[in-house]
Structure 1
Amino acid sequence: MNTVDYQVLKSAVSWLEQGKRLALVTVVRNWGSAPRPLGSLFAITADGDFTGSVSGGCIEDDLMRRFADAFPDKLELVRYGISAEEMRRFGLPCGGTLELVVEPVRDAAALRLLLDAVTGRRLVQRRLNLHTGESRIEPAEIDVSIRFRDDELVQVFGPRWRLLIVGAGQVSEYLAQMAPALDFAVYLNDPREEQRRNWQAGEVEWLDGMPDDAVLAFRPDKRTVIVTLSHDPKVDDMALMEALKTEAFYIGAIGSMASTETRRARLLTLDVSEEQLDRLHAPIGLPIHSRSPAEIAVAILAELVQLRNRLVSTSAPSSCAVGVTERSTACPR
């Protein structure tokens, strides 16, 4: 799940444990230019504490004004539509329509289970009955963010994405600084002591050992990204020969088109099959004519976000819901 929504859950648990009344707001449907993706969270207390986002500010301000007058005591569906008046008042993108589930939450323990699942790298889903307001948490098998029907909201929560960088250099430093904002927990391996000694990008989790051993010990899964950025074949190839045999979501290597061809030839001699080699993204990143280390890091992250969002959009089922309690304009069909 994304870092912002994870923080929403952490804050919500803390406020509930302090005895505060809390409402959890979830984006469940949108049309047109949606400000925030489905499943985005916003939490607010009766005391005016709030965190998260469902629109970027305008809708949150309206919710806070409404809740200051009457804090919700039952579950409801709130819709912000496409009328000219609402466009002018809330500043929604052109043609945008947004539906939110507003849910009073009283049980901190239930949300705590979600946080524990994310920390323990378990994929779980929370089922919310839209008629009774009751919820339950259970293991999840399909990694989609949200399923919304007339009687039920099912939202999947899971571990953060992991990014393993092999090779400590300038590109790695920029990548390590930028990636956490995009929901990647960053890990780094480099057997060269001088590279580790001169690392300047702040806190990362270092993995010891040679790159092949580090990859195996890391146990890559479908939420793992592995990138090799050392420019040293003795380092990069060791990581790639093991990474390409795993189920990692993305495996990339830095280098030119010419160096990529020679790398492919080397890897074929290292017990890597043609099929496995076809999974390699090289040259790494989107072709944005990047030159500087910072631009290369941007290109890498841009490709990761593109592929990750494509995965979510193609795996998400269509959803439809009948409003529990509606507000504002009718929904386009």
Structure 2
Amino acid sequence: MDNIDLQVMRQVAQWHADGHGVVMATITRTWGSAPRPPGSIVAIRDDGLITGSVSGGCIEDDLIDKARQGVLAEGRPRVVRYGIDADAAHRFGLPCGGLIELVLEPVAAHTQMPVLLERLQRGERVRRVLDIASGAVTLETAGDTDELQLTDTTLTTHLGPHWRLVIIGAGQMTQYLAEMSRALDYQVVVCDPREEYADIFAVDGVTLRREMPDDLLQALKIDGHTAVIALTHDPKLDDLALMEALASSAFYVGAIGSRANQAKRRERLKEHFGMTDAQLDRLHGPVGLKNGARTPPEIAISILAELTAVRYGYRIDAPVAVRAQAVMEVGCVS
């Protein structure tokens, strides 16, 4: 699976290679409750075909009309705004007084779409600098800060995975979790020094590392945009990863295993590695939402559902188990 940026850029590159005129529109600023955040991209082909989104659809409809009329592309990038007054806000599906600012950018040879696409397909995060006057694009490696910036002369955006997921263990469940994670905007790194697992692991766009987990996490410099999940069932590997992850600013740390195994793990981490209760309380284990998942793909879905909730600051309470017999009894009484 591909993340949203890669899907859009792959389509844009194909349309341009086929000889179509293409204009990309990037949200640069919003006021009010805009449907999509800054950095969101939509691309419109000269015959009105579209990929990506910047609103609930009304702004896209206006861009499509202009593309079909041949007035959307003007040769170089320009800034446009939608929803400046209440009437326009209502027309374009924005809250009263809302505003969305876009940069419209005709795609050309100096847009460097093939190079950008190649780097995104490798799972890289790329800083893209657009020269407003000429339309020329410079591609750089993304750094620690990734804020969108629009000045009088340039538009700087960041494409590729916005979040990082480090998975310890290259088993069957990791295959599903890695593939699904890429669609949710994660740069995925899988760590497994065991030859019997690492030698047969292969997921497009996912980096495989074969050093010990603690060495890898130290090298990656785990930050608040990183999640770490231990899936090996091997304490020698999982505990080393959790020791580093729980002491870092990772936004999510999880480990597979039963509640009994989680209790034993907490004891080991506290006794042998000196982890504090506060650090151990950050551990999500058993990993994932408790939704009855049993198969590897079901468990992967439950993990990603919990990751998403934590990312957006939502707390999901534990489910209440209801026996089928009890439900039947209630039905009989009623």
Does the pair score TM above 0.5? yes
1:111 pairs with one of 110, 113, 123: 113
* Aligned residue in 1 for 2:37: 37
Structure 1 residue 59, shift from structure 2 partner: 1.3
Check the 8 A contact 2:42/2:53 in 1, yes or no. Answer: yes
- By relative contact order (CA 8 Å, sep 6+), the higher-ranking structure is 1
Task: Specify the SS of the correspondent of 2:158.
Answer: strand
**Residues 140-149 or 21-30, more deviating:** 140-149
**Partner residue, 2:67:** 67
Deviates more, 1:179-188 or 1:111-120: 179-188
Of stretches 256-265 and 108-117 in structure 1, the one that deviates more from structure 2 is 256-265
Given the alignment, which residue of 96, 101, 109 partners 2:103?
A: 101
Where in structure 2 are the equivalents of 1:243-322 lying within 5 Å?
A: 250-254=252-256, 260-271=262-273, 273-274=275-276, 277=279, 280-283=282-285, 290=291, 292=293, 300-305=303-308, 308=311
Q: How far apart are 1:137 and its partner, in Å?
A: 2.4
Partner Cα separation in structure 2 for residue 144 and residue 155 of structure 1: 8
Q: In the alignment, is the contact (CA less than 8 A) between 1:167 and 1:228 conserved in 2?
A: no
Give how far 1:130 is off. 2.9
Q: Which amino acid aligns with 2:304?
A: L
Q: Which amino acid aligns with 1:265?
A: E
Once residues 29 and 47 of structure 1 are traced to their aligned partners in structure 2, the CA distance between those partners, rounded to angstroms, is 27
| Percent of paired sites with the same residue | 38
Distance 1:64 1:123 in 2: 29
Aligned ranges 1:1-333 → 2 under 5 Å:
3-69=3-69, 70-73=71-74, 74-81=76-83, 83-93=85-95, 96-107=98-109, 110-120=112-122, 122-159=124-161, 161-164=164-167, 166=169, 178-184=180-186, 213=212, 220=220, 222=222, 225-229=227-231, 236-237=238-239, 239-241=241-243, 250-254=252-256, 260-271=262-273, 273-274=275-276, 277=279, 280-283=282-285, 290=291, 292=293, 300-305=303-308, 308=311
* Structure 1, unpaired ranges of 5+: 194-201, 311-333
Alpha-carbon RMSD across the aligned residues, in angstroms, is 4.5
What code does the residue aligned with 1:136 have? T
* Alpha-carbon spacing, 1:228–1:95, altered in 2? closer, same or farther (3 Å): farther
Q: How many correspondences in the alignment?
A: 301
Which secondary structure does the structure 2 equivalent of 1:102 belong to? strand
Gaps of 5+ in 2: 197-202, 314-334
Distance change >3 Å, CA 236–CA 134, structure 1 → 2? closer
1:194-229 alpha-carbon deviations (Å, 9 max, x no partner): xxxxxxxx99979798xx847767975646533235
Alpha-carbon contact 1:130-1:152 (below 8 Å) kept:
yes
Matched residues in 2 for 1:156 and 1:149: separation?
15
Displacement of 1:298: 5.9
Tell me the distance in 2 between the aligned counterparts of 1:133 and 1:252. 44
TM-score (norm 1): 0.67
Note if contact 2:257-2:287 (Cα within 8 Å) is conserved in structure 1. Answer: no
